[in-house]
């Protein structure tokens, strides 16, 4: 949905049950025309979608969020100030896919989440 238009994956570090992806956000993307003109902010729902897209690409299957245990948006993600973000994902397959993820850059944590996917 957003990969290769809103953001580009610049690096991937993969270990069993862990993904660390470097992404570069495209500040010129149309989403920022409405959110917000002259003061771009990456919407929280889009940050969660990026996690889902990275997981789907890595696991090579479609996912649907079943439950969200926690979700905190801790810093405004302005792509003009922070165009490069590290997405850290830990996952474990049980009955559902249990995921803990965050988005960070230079000591700033933009979001943290815990969710289960089918």
pLDDT of amino acid 35? 84
Confidence (pTM): 0.95
CA distance 37 to 46: 17
pLDDT of amino acid 37? 81
What DSSP character marks residue 18? E
Domain ranges of the chain: 7-117
The CATH-assigned architecture of domain 7-117 is Roll (3.10)
pLDDT of amino acid 38? 84
Please report, in tens digits, the pLDDT of each residue of the chain (118 residues total): 899 999 999 999 999 899 999 999 999 999 998 888 888 999 999 999 999 999 999 999 999 999 999 999 999 999 999 999 999 999 999 999 999 999 999 999 999 999 999 9
User: Which helix (H) or strand (E) covers residue 50, if one does?
Assistant: helix 44-59
CA distance 69 to 63: 17
Q: Which backbone phi and psi does 49 adopt, to 5 degrees?
A: -65, -35
DSSP assignments along 55-91, one per residue: HHHHHTS---EEEEEEEEE-S---TTT--EEEEEEEE
Structure tokens at 64: 């649907």
pLDDT of amino acid 54? 98
pLDDT of amino acid 65? 97
């Amino acid at each position: 949905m957003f990969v290769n238009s809103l953001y580009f994956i610049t690096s991937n570090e993969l270990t069993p049950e862990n993904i660390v992806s470097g992404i570069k956000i495209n500040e010129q993307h149309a989403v920022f025309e409405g959110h917000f003109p002259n003061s771009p902010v990456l919407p929280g729902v889009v940050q969660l979608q990026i996690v889902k897209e990275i997981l789907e690409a890595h696991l090579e299957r479609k996912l649907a969020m079943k439950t969200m245990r926690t979700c905190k948006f801790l810093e405004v993600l302005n792509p003009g100030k922070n165009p490069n973000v590290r997405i850290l994902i830990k996952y474990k397959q049980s009955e559902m896919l249990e995921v803990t993820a965050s988005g960070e850059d230079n000591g700033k944590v933009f979001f943290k989440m815990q969710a289960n996917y089918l």
